[in-house]
Amino acid sequence: MAKHDPDLNLIFQALSDPTRRNMLAMLGQGAQPVTVLAKPSGMALPTVMRHLSVLEDAGLISSEKTGRVRMCRAKPETLAAVDDWLAQQKALWEGRLDRLEEYAMKLMEAERGTGPEA
């Protein structure tokens, strides 16, 4: 369903902030309550909640409230979309290098064919 498709615009936007990348790194080590995630930044809770909401909208984390505690979890499968995009870029780049190599080989062969020994 479209709602669950990873959206690279939202993902890259979410990753463009160091506080949010720190939060993701903390969650990489396991689920954490919002209060723990808030500690290193020293930010006010509403600011922290705003950052977490950007990460959640991008599908990079999920959160669940039990009683008065909101637990956050990383969704590493969403980062696979970034991995796929990078792989596509590399394929374009390497395809280009292959074509350059092919061209260089043709030039060398042509040169050999018309060289002084020919």
List strand residue ranges (DSSP E) for 10-118, in order.
32-33, 61-66, 69-74
Which one, of 31, 26, 15, lies nearest residue 79 by Cα?
A: 15
**Contacting residues for 6 by C-beta, under 8 A, at least 6 apart:** 59, 78, 80, 81
Which CB atom, from 45 or from 103, has the smaller least distance to its own copies?
103
Query: Residue 107, interface with its own copies (CB under 8 A)?
Result: no
24 near its own copies, rule: CB under 8 A: yes
Q: Does 12 bind its own copies (CB under 8 A)?
A: yes
The secondary structure element, H or E, covering residue 9 is helix 8-15
Report the site for its own copies in 38-97 (rule: CB under 8 A): 74, 76, 79, 82-83, 85-86, 88-90, 92-93, 95-96
Which residues form the interface with its own copies (CB under 8 A)? 8-13, 15-18, 21, 24-25, 28-30, 74, 76, 79, 82-83, 85-86, 88-90, 92-93, 95-96
